[in-house]
Structure 1
Amino acid sequence: MKNQSVKKNLDWTCVIIYSLLVIMGWLNIYSSSFSSIENTYQKQLIFILLTIPLIFIVLAVDGKFYEKYATIIFGISLLSLAGLFIFGKTIAGQRCWYGFGSFTLQPSEFAKAATALALAKYLSDTQINLKDVNRQIQALAIVLLPVMLILPQPDPGSALIYSTFIIVLYREGLPAWYVWTGFSAILLFVLTLVLEPQYVILLALLVILIVHLKSRLADRNIVGSSMVFVLISGFVLSVNYVFENIFKQHHRDRFNILLGKTVDLKGIGYNTNQSEIAIGSGGWIGKGFLEGTQTKGGFVPEQHTDYIFTTVGEEWGFAGSLVVVALFVSLLLRIIYLSERQKTKFSRVYGYCVAGILFVHFFVNIAMVVGIFPTIGVPLPFFSYGGSGLWGFTILLFIFLKMDANKVNEW
């Protein structure tokens, strides 16, 4: 088939949604910072303008380049993360940035795309079977390597994003028990913080007995069920020790506030409380652009970054918030649709990685600002202030759009 132009084959639905989100994000950054002396909205406008040549560069590169050099790109990304421990700039207790004068660059934002490429490259090997334990370990190692470099910075928010790759691996054949184990561990951890450990263990025993008795292979599964119960009991009994001795104080405070065990509206819970007030005050249609009293008064800290959605809720109300959510959901569904129609496994896996990364960012950020998730510093894609985040998400998305535009040549 004759080569066709990228312009003709580019998925303009994704491009339009992306453009709308970036424009709406800038308007909200402008609203939350127009009275600030820092001129944050002007800096963000520069970041947005710089994405234009960045997009052209990503689209100009042949789609096969990303597959051929995925491992090298991943290696460079790991080196950039490791270099932070020596050359990194510390801001607010986190060593997550390289400083170039007044300009900073956060490599973890670009590491997401690099990890997605590496994972897609590994899984696109026709010999890969994720039912094999060795293959599972190798695939999980690709995901865990950047996490091990990001956590000590410390940046738990960025590290959390990599959990989405488990769903991608499950889509490609990873046994379901990995997903269920992760979900169960999170559930047991939270339940143990709310209830006494002995009650959680009794509840787990009840669930195991019900599953065991309903199993057709009950006689054969008694040893396995007993082992599962022992492991769960050990995990539950270790939760309080981990929570008190491994978690840092501000992490413990955020969990205690989220679970209603502590009320600290002037301290660690101030951000979440103010964001809930701001969003709630917007009502159905909002107070209007630049008319948010909470926003104009600067009552919500970090409103132009992690808490940018509070500006949407206050000034655009429920209706505006619904539009933003609809745009994100539409983009995610479109990416999944495009992923399913890819002609190569590499492109399909990478597309699912893109959808997963964007979904976790979108879901966790909004859950965080409405008070149903702890504050851990996860930005809202295309909305939150920051050049590294905007460029990282742009590269992540447009690499996939380049692959999709090239699929007409991949027969």
Structure 2
Amino acid sequence: MRQDDLYINKIDWLTILIYGLLVMIGWFNIYAAVYDEQTAKSIFDFSINSGKQLIWIGTAVLLITLIMVADYRLFDNLSLILFGIFVLILILTPIIGKEINGQKAWFELGPFRLQPGEFAKFATALALAKIIEKPSFDLSKPKYQFQATLVILIPVALIMLQPDTGTAMVYSAFFIMLYREGMPQKYYVLALIFIAVSLLSLAVENNLYLAGGVVFVISFLILMGKKNWKRILSLGLIGLAVIAYSYSLDMVVSKLPSHQQNRIMVLFNPDIDPLGVGWNVTQSKIAIGSGGFWGKGYLQGTQTKFDFVPEQHTDFIFCTLGEEFGWVGSLIVVFLFVSLLVRLVFLAERQKTRFSRVYGYSVISILLFHFMINISMTIGLFPVVGIPLPFFSYGGSSLWSFTILLFIFIKLDSHRIQLLGRMN
């Protein structure tokens, strides 16, 4: 059997099939999101979003072809160079980028816009895989924890200069991969406590009540034994720390742009202004709920037709699915995403090299983060932060970046035996 035949046989076609299904279902939903029966145009019309997305899909196929025919060793050899290139591009973005809605996060190339922050994800994933692949790299030691965290924070800091909070937030997903590779559990416990206290600080108006509640809970968890002055002092210090942090967080939030403050307010009180700041989430939930069990039918969504939900073809694409295909259609798409993630975990665990495994879990982490946050946004469980649904939302940068991210891993997986021989 020829070498090319062996390579083709090792390509994971199941993952490619799930990818193709998600892209095509997303394409049909993009058409539904902009469909107007009064001025109906063909789904292939390049003047509307579905036609433009078809161009992005076609070019994504070209990218896939380039990745799959490229030498698999390039991704290892050029990983740090690619990271450096994208760091430079991110430095230039706020300087020469196109400003849209107060953000300089795009480069404008004729009729097309590209968002460097999206593409920097796969470069960051490759850089992390490169530095972590060394046998001596031990994430239980502070020195190596700092190195891995620094690689993540560099693009985050540059993206925040644009400023693009949503895209920067996605990079925190890499810590899921770091947990798999040995980052101590204590950091994740502290992070969860930090998040919980932050949410409580934003939700509870009286900081004294918040501090008292935290101290009360901790007293049950860690003060079950005999009381002594050290423990009482510890409780008091915890209470003071919570009050100080809560006031500090309030001050930070008050300095945010008004639209970001509004998104946080809506998270804790969706009915605070249903015709104003709460409009997007309220209408999204109405659209999804109105779909019922089976949905209203393709191109029959009333919320869609009358443009009740802003950005319905991008960040809120899931509500189009929920309205027109109901609970059943939503469940099928969620099943496809979960199947893709489970399949990728299987592929990551069968890798023969640490480089491929780290990169694989980076892909999983980013896709999982996008999937969970986007759907949480549409049903009001998370603030609206502009995070697209992978392979589904309209946009060339989004589709291209996710495609590159995924197919580099598929390429590495298909050559996992050769990579092992090369590493040895």
- 2:366 alignment partner in structure 1: 357
Task: State the Cα distance separating 1:212 from its structure 2 match.
Answer: 3.0
Q: How does 1:69-108 map to 2 (within 5 A)?
A: 69-108=78-117
User: Which consecutive unaligned segments of at least 5 residues does structure 1 have?
Assistant: none
Distance in 1 separating the partners of 2:235 and 2:145: 24
Question: Does the Cα contact within 8 Å between 2:271 and 2:278 map onto a contact in 1?
Answer: no
Q: Is the 8 A contact 2:267 2:380 kept in 1?
A: yes
Hey, what does 1:48 align to over in structure 2?
57
Provide Cα deviations, 1:318-360, integer angstroms capped at 9, x if missing partner: 0000000000000001001110110000111111110110011
CA distance in 1 between counterparts of 2:357 and 2:350 reads 8
Report how far residue 210 of structure 1 moved: 3.3
Match of residue 218 from structure 2: 208
Moved more, 394-403 or 33-42: 33-42
Tell me which amino acid in the other structure corresponds to 1:16: L
Map 1:367-378 to 2 at 5 A: 367-378=376-387
Tell me which residue corresponds to 1:337: 346
CA distance in 2, matches of 1:288, 1:212: 55
Would you say 1:150 and 2:159 are equivalent positions?
yes
Aligned to 1:29: 30
Q: C-alpha distance in 1, partners of 2:32/2:78?
A: 41
The 5-angstrom pairing of residues 183-202 of structure 1 reads: 183-195=192-204, 196-202=206-212
What is residue 257 of structure 1 aligned with on the other side?
266
**Paired letter, 1:71:** L
Cα distance per residue 1:227-261 (max 9 Å; x no partner): 7666444323322222223x221111111111017
Partner Cα distance (1:215, 1:161) in 2: 42
Q: Secondary structure at the match of 1:163?
A: helix
Determine if contact 1:6/1:59 at 8 Å carries over to the other structure. no
RMSD between aligned alpha carbons?
2.3
- Secondary structure of 1:274's counterpart equals helix
SS state at 2:342 partner? helix
The code of the aligned residue for 1:90 comes to E
Aligned to 1:123: 132
Q: Is the 8 A contact 1:212 1:222 kept in 2?
A: no
Identify the range of structure 1 (32-41 vs 275-284) with the bigger mean alpha-carbon deviation: 32-41
Q: Partners of 1:391 and 1:17 in 2: how far apart?
A: 16
| Count of aligned pairs between the two proteins | 409
The answer (yes or no) to whether the contact 2:7–2:414 under 8 Å persists in 1 is yes
The 1-side partners of 2:239 and 2:351 are apart by: 43
Aligned pair in 2 of structure 1 residues 101, 215: CA closer, same or farther (>3 Å)? farther
Name 2:44's counterpart in structure 1.
none
What is the one-letter code of the residue matched to 2:25?
M
Q: CA deviation at 1:286?
A: 0.6
CA distance in 1 between counterparts of 2:239 and 2:211 reads 8
Provide the C-alpha distance between the structure 2 equivalents of 1:50 and 1:272, rounded to a whole number of angstroms. 33
Q: CA offset at residue 222 of structure 1?
A: 9.0
- Kindly provide the amino acid, as one letter, of the partner of residue 342 in structure 2: L
Alignment-derived partner of residue 20 in structure 1: 21
Equivalents in 1 of 2:190, 2:2: separation in Å? 48
Q: Quick check: 1:212–1:225 contact (8 Å CA) kept in 2?
A: no
TM-score by length of 2: 0.91
How far does residue 185 in structure 1 lie from its aligned partner after superposition? Answer: 1.3
Partner secondary structure for residue 269 of structure 2 = coil
Identity %: 45
Where does the alignment leave 5 or more consecutive residues of structure 2 unmatched? 42-46
Correspondence 1:130-141 to 2 at 5 A: 130-141=139-150
Instruction: Encode CA deviations 1:50-109: one digit per residue, 9 max, x unaligned.
Output: 111110111112222111211111111111111112210011221111011221111111
Give the TM-score, by structure 1 length.
0.94
